[in-house]
Every structure is written in structure tokens, then in C-alpha cells.
């Protein structure tokens, strides 16, 4: 029995040897599996972003997720206490034990609302009764048109206090309970400014003061040429839809800003992370082939920097790219750095064109025309770009 290594040759699969024992369709599938030369065997969990197993990723892999519903997202919002969220969920499922509901279950007793003589039903208790109408009118006067999420639970709290402890059921009592709950959320810093957008004046009237958001001052960024005898590789990857039609691209320039080569690599359907890593890998391979070293690599995706610094395995479809880039870093004495997108305009333009047109080619200086040539000219002259925020 031969080992897997027997079917390798110079860092790639030995197709003739594989075809001796496996039919072509299966051989093609095997040859698509990348080889991590010089790396020890490692189990990779394909359902996580790091390649490591976790119960959360396993649950996400096997569960059947329903479409996201905004109503439920509001019910389980982090600004609400779990008690309120559970209560609201029970309310929407008609699981609140009002008198009418208990009679449907077979219990026999007279039904009477705690604020009047009407029958106690869910709609009457939370919408129709005079006391509750007073609550909605009070908050409507403050916000114009706003349904307060905490009102339902405080109505029930007042109702229980009236029914079981003899405390009078009143509009003012419910309003005070709502206000008390809002003050508690504000003190716990779970009541955020974003929840009051458009109603900051009303929040201030109620005593809730939020820090004014100060916009970041714009900054000037520009492409900087590498040090003498060094080369700079700017890369970018782009996916139309993530996943969607994807492309990787990059440009290698010298210390004078002259282009030595540019490249485009069509990926078909892929993710933005796959495109970003492929752009780095392809550019470094070309730099190695053409002797363009030492090398500075600039990317505008923080995820690439994070993956390379942590040496994480990453998802199965990209972990081989991470290992190849790490090996090329050592061969090229390459330093991979983050750069603002505004200073990476040439690679960004080329990547978007690559993804849209699905082009694969290597370009030299005389092949570059149009908008890309203009961007490169501005970079070489040191023309700055304005970065907002």
C-alpha cells in the first residue's frame, strides 16, 4: 500500500500515477485538493472560520434556520430584559393566562377585567381598555407615533398586582413602571443613542442624555513608493455578491513608481476572502518568478493581515493559500502591511474589472491603458486622496 506522498511530484499531484488506480472523474476531484508541502498533517474543521472545531459552528452546520423576522429580532433585542422578551414571545403566541384564555382551557370562573367590568381578554387588557388606552396616548404625545415595547409587560404586572394583591390598576401606575424600566436600562447603558435617533429631544426631556457623536476628521492618504532596491505589491480581491463572481488582481512597482507588471486572475464564483488571499498569493508567485524582491505587500483587507499574523488555518477553501503565502513571505523577505483603500486605488480598480469581466492575464507597462494608467500616474506623482471618517 503506497502512501499519499507517493502520488506527489514537485509539490503537486502526480496525475499519471493517480490515473493508474482511480478513474478520471475521481482523479480530477483529488487533484483539486491543494498540497501543503512541508507542513504536517492537520485536521481542519470545515465549518468554522479558523479551522478549529466549536460547538457553535457544529450547531450552525446542522440546524435548519428559518428566515430572519424583524418582529422576533425586536422581541429578543439585547436592550430588553430576558423576562420582557419571554413575555412578549408568549404574548404573540397567545400564551398569556388571562381569564378568557384560562376558560378556553376548561377552567370555569367568572371573568372580570381589573380596571372595569369587561371580560378579561388579551386584546382588551393590552389594547382596548380605558387604562391601557391612556398609556398609549401618553407615549404617543411624546413620540408622535411609537409603540412602547415595555408597556405590555407593565400592563400585566399592574393587572397581577390588582388581582392578587389588591393594588389599584391605574394608567399612571403603568406609565411610572415604563419610565422606571427605561431609567434602569439607561443606567445599565443598554439604552443606546441609536435607539433614539430622530427622538433625541424627547429622550432629553425624559432625562436621557447621550454623548454627541463627533465625526472623524478627514485625513490625507497617498500611495508611497518603496525604499530603493525594494518593490511594492498592491493587491485587492473583489466578489460580486460574496459569494459571487470573484476576481483577484495586483500591481508590482519599484521605488520610482514604475510598473513592472500587473495581473488579473478570474476565480469564477467565490468569496471576498478567497479573492483577497488569491490576489496576495498570485502576486507573490509572480514576484518570485521575475526576481522582484525584497517585497512590500499592501492589502486593504484587515482579515488578510489577521489570518497571516495569527497563522490560523482558516476555512478549508483558503487554508492552503495562507500556508503558501507564509512560505513565500520567507522566500521573498516580504512584509505584508495594511493600507487604506484610498491608497490602494489601482489594485481596487483592477480587481473590480477582473471580477466583472472574468479576465485572467499578466500585464506589462505598455499594456496598461485607460483609467488604470491614470491612477498609476497620479500615484507616481504623489497626488493625495481624501479619506473621510
The domain limits of the chain are: 1-35, 77-205, 222-387
Q: Mean pLDDT across the chain, nearest whole number? A: 85
pLDDT at 150: 43
* Mean pLDDT to the nearest integer, 203-210: 87
pLDDT in tens, 297-339: 999 999 999 888 876 666 667 877 888 898 899 999 999 999 9
How many Cβ atoms are within 10 Å of 335's Cβ, its own excluded?
A: 13
pLDDT in tens, 14-69: 999 999 999 988 888 888 776 766 666 677 787 876 778 899 989 988 998 888 88
- The answer to whether 221 and 387 have CB atoms below 8 angstroms apart is yes
Q: Per-residue confidence at 168, pLDDT binned at 50, 70, 90? A: low
pLDDT at 78: 78
CA neighbor of 234 nearest in space, from 272, 274, 265, 262: 262
- The answer to whether 115 and 129 have CB atoms below 8 angstroms apart is yes
**Is the model more confident about 315 or about 73?**
73
Share of the chain above pLDDT 70, in %: 87
pLDDT at 50: 72
Question: What CATH number was assigned to the domain covering residues 222-387?
Answer: 3.30.420.10
Q: What is the pTM of this model?
A: 0.67
pLDDT in tens, 330-368: 999 999 999 999 999 999 999 999 999 999 999 999 999
Q: Per-residue confidence at 256, pLDDT binned at 50, 70, 90? A: very high
Task: Tell me the backbone φ, ψ of residue 243, rounded to 5 degrees.
Answer: -85, 155
**Is the model more confident about 261 or about 215?**
261
pLDDT at 151: 46
Alpha-carbon 389 to chain mean position:
20
Per the DSSP assignment, residues forming a β-bridge with 270 are: 244
Considering 41-55, 106-120, 214-228, the range whose residues carry the highest mean pLDDT is: 214-228
* Mean pLDDT to the nearest integer, 268-282: 95
**Is the model more confident about 41 or about 211?**
211
* Mean pLDDT to the nearest integer, 236-260: 96
Task: Please name the residue that has the C-alpha cell 391612556.
Answer: 134
By residue count, the chain amounts to 389
Among 34-48, 207-221, 246-260, the minimum mean pLDDT is found in 34-48
d(CA 31, CA 385): 45
Amino acid at each position: 500500500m503506497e502512501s499519499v506522498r507517493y502520488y506527489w511530484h514537485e509539490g503537486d499531484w502526480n496525475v499519471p500515477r493517480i490515473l493508474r488506480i482511480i478513474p478520471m472523474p475521481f482523479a480530477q476531484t483529488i487533484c483539486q485538493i491543494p498540497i501543503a508541502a512541508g507542513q504536517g498533517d492537520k485536521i481542519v474543521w470545515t465549518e468554522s472560520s479558523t479551522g478549529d472545531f466549536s460547538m457553535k459552528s457544529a450547531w450552525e452546520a446542522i440546524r435548519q434556520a428559518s428566515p430572519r423576522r424583524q418582529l422576533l429580532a425586536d422581541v429578543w433585542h439585547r436592550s430588553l430584559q430576558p423576562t420582557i422578551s419571554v413575555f412578549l414571545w408568549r404574548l404573540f403566541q397567545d400564551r398569556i393566562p388571562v381569564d378568557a384564555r384560562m376558560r378556553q382551557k376548561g377552567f370555569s370562573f367568572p371573568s372580570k377585567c381589573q380596571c372595569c367590568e369587561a371580560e378579561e381578554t388579551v386584546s382588551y387588557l393590552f389594547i382596548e381598555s380605558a387604562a391601557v388606552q391612556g398609556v398609549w396616548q401618553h407615549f404617543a404625545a411624546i413620540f408622535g407615533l411609537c409603540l412602547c415595547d415595555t408597556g405590555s409587560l407593565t400592563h400585566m404586572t399592574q393587572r397581577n398586582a390588582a388581582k392578587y394583591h389588591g393594588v389599584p390598576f391605574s394608567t399612571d401606575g403603568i406609565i411610572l413602571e415604563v419610565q422606571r424600566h427605561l431609567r434602569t436600562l439607561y443606567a445599565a447603558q443598554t439604552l443606546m443613542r441609536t435607539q433614539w435617533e430622530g427622538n433625541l429631544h424627547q429622550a432629553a426631556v425624559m432625562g436621557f442624555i447621550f454623548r454627541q457623536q463627533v465625526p472623524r476628521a478627514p485625513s490625507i492618504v497617498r500611495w508611497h513608493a518603496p525604499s530603493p532596491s525594494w518593490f511594492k505589491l498592491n493587491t485587492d480581491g473583489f466578489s460580486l455578491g460574496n459569494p459571487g463572481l470573484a476576481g483577484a488582481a495586483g500591481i508590482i512597482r519599484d521605488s520610482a513608481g514604475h510598473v513592472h507588471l500587473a495581473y488579473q486572475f478570474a476565480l469564477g464564483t467565490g468569496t471576498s476572502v478567497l479573492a483577497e488571499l488569491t490576489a496576495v498569493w498570485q502576486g507573490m508567485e509572480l514576484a518570485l518568478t521575475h526576481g522582484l524582491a525584497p517585497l512590500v505587500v499592501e492589502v486593504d483587507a484587515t482579515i488578510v493581515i489577521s489570518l497571516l499574523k495569527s497563522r490560523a488555518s482558516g476555512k478549508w477553501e483558503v487554508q492552503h493559500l495562507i500556508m503558501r503565502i507564509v512560505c513565500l513571505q520567507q522566500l521573498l523577505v516580504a512584509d505584508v502591511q495594511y493600507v487604506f483603500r484610498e491608497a490602494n486605488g489601482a489594485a481596487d480598480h483592477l480587481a473590480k474589472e477582473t471580477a466583472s469581466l472574468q479576465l485572467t492575464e499578466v500585464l506589462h507597462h505598455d499594456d496598461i491603458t485607460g483609467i488604470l494608467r491614470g491612477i498609476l500616474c497620479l500615484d507616481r506623482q504623489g497626488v493625495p486622496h481624501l479619506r473621510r471618517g
